[in-house]
Amino acid sequence: MSLAKARKGLKTAKKGGILTPQQKSINEFLRIPKSNKITSRFSPFDSDQAKEAYNYCAKFMKIANENPDNPIEKVLEYAKEATETTDPELIRYALMSFITHHPSARNRNLRIPPLIKRSPESCVPQKKITIAPGPVVSDEKVGESVGDIELYMNWYREDPNLNEHHEHWHIVYSGQGIPNFKDPESGEPVNKDRHGELFVYMHRQMLARYDIELLGINLPLIKPLDNYRAPIEEGYKPNENLSNREKCIDTFGSREPNSVIGSAGINTLETKRKELEKTIEKGKFCDGTEITIDLLGAFIEYSNFPGKQEMFKKLGDLHGTGHGVIGRISTVEGVMTQTRVAARDPVFWRWHRHIDNLINTWEEKQEPN
């Protein structure tokens, strides 16, 4: 799919019906602009930044509650003001959480617009495709693998629907929890039932599907990224629509093959992994709480679990920390820092195989049920 076709999707993505003025306003606000001054880059994998987005979502809910006659208009008015002083990407993320979880939006059937509407550039796969031996059913230029077997899987990783699914899951199951819409500024988040367990399950399903695709063309299964000090064999270069900062704000850096994680990042990851392995070995967290799959998933992801926020943030969060450390290997942050494009990078799958293997070490210690 070319960028022209992606932009055409802005007109064709709507399936019947007439957009309400409120939905049109939401669509316009959530559209990532082609150009804007970049002073920082919001990442939902950064627990501090995610907490700030949570606080803005709580403010949106409070405003909606105080303005029952025109809640959406008032929320958007405040959101636009907030973008003058706060990273607009953070505000957009907070608004998507509000739309997903607050009754004033849900009862009006308001929706987060598809990724193809919010960021057409994020929906364009790499132009040069590589396929397994067989008939070429494409008018695109086909390239040789040049020894990189991951090129055979570009078609899958670059799929915008796959990446949008990953983004949407992390909005629905926010690691910070969801503000209580009845009392949004109480500070007590609402955590969805079995959030940590579902974090494990959903990403495990993604890995299983990827492995099946690899098996289907006789390629090796996903290799875990468990040696933080070794060079990362796979590089990743986003297509030109995601890498040219003169044309679009929604851009990301490239990671060259055999890049290495910085020493500070290595130390952080190794410290967190050591704490996790020690916890798994004991079968208990440092406060004496017995491990469950729900708690373990929350600990690794860093979920704002009631009563365990500080412990989880200090000792857990291996998953999100890895996304950030790997994404910042390049001078310009890479796709690993953003949920809407992270799965494009081969290292995403290697990182999650590592995370899943760590979880599996605990599962193997459990009695049959």
Asked if pLDDT for residue 15 goes beyond 80, the answer is no
Q: Which of 64, 90, 68, 99 is nearest to 78 (CA)?
A: 64
Say if residues 152 and 132 touch (Cβ distance below 8 Å).
Answer: yes
pLDDT score, position 248: 56
Asked if pLDDT for residue 181 goes beyond 90, the answer is yes
**3-class secondary-structure state, position 150:** helix
Mean pLDDT of 197-218: 97
Residue pLDDT, tens place only, 326-350: 999 998 899 999 999 999 999 999 9
pLDDT score, position 35: 63
* Pairwise CA distance, residues 358 & 353, whole Å: 9
Range 20-113 has CATH code 1.10.132: no
Residue pLDDT, tens place only, 85-108: 999 999 999 999 999 999 999 999
Asked if pLDDT for residue 324 goes beyond 60, the answer is yes
Mean pLDDT of 231-242: 88
The larger pLDDT score, comparing residue 364 to residue 120, is at 364
Given the structure tokens 């899951």, which residue do they identify? Answer: 169
Residue pLDDT, tens place only, 240-293: 777 766 555 668 999 999 999 999 999 999 999 999 999 999 999 888 889 999
What band does 53 get if pLDDT is binned at 50, 70 and 90? very high
What band does 36 get if pLDDT is binned at 50, 70 and 90? low
Burial class (CB in 10 A: 0-12, 13-18, 19+), 350: buried
Q: Which of 207, 235, 219, 156 is nearest to 353 (CA)?
A: 207
Q: DSSP string spanning 168-222?
A: HHHHHT-TT-EE-TTSTTSS-EEPPTTHHHHHHHHHHHHHHHHHHHHHHTT-PPP
Question: According to the per-residue pLDDT averaged within each range, which of 16-30, 133-147, 156-170 is highest?
Answer: 156-170
The larger pLDDT score, comparing residue 139 to residue 208, is at 208
What band does 312 get if pLDDT is binned at 50, 70 and 90? confident
The larger pLDDT score, comparing residue 297 to residue 6, is at 297
Burial class (CB in 10 A: 0-12, 13-18, 19+), 3: middle
Q: Provide the H-helix boundaries in the chain.
A: 3-12, 21-30, 47-66, 71-82, 88-101, 103-106, 115-118, 154-157, 160-172, 195-216, 263-282, 293-301, 309-315, 318-327, 346-363
* Pairwise CA distance, residues 218 & 52, whole Å: 45
Mean pLDDT of 81-86: 95
Asked if pLDDT for residue 218 goes beyond 60, the answer is yes
CATH 1.10.1280.10 residue spans of the chain: 123-135+149-368
pLDDT score, position 349: 98
CATH 1.20.1370 residue spans of the chain: 20-113
pLDDT score, position 343: 97
Mean pLDDT of 347-362: 98
Q: What percent of the chain has pLDDT over 70?
A: 84
Output the average pLDDT for the chain.
87
Range 123-135+149-368 has CATH code 2.60.40.3140: no
Can you read off the two tokens belonging to residue 279?
């916890």
Contact residues for 38 (Cβ-Cβ < 8 A; gap 6+): 245, 249
What band does 210 get if pLDDT is binned at 50, 70 and 90? very high
Long-range residue pairs from 287-291, CB within 8 A, at least 24 positions apart, any chain: 287/311, 291/362
pLDDT score, position 14: 46
Given the structure tokens 């070490």, which residue do they identify? Answer: 361
Asked if pLDDT for residue 320 goes beyond 60, the answer is yes
pLDDT score, position 16: 53
Given the structure tokens 């926010």, which residue do they identify? Answer: 174
Residue pLDDT, tens place only, 106-151: 999 999 999 999 988 788 776 555 455 444 444 444 444 445 778 8
**3-class secondary-structure state, position 48:** helix
**3-class secondary-structure state, position 258:** coil
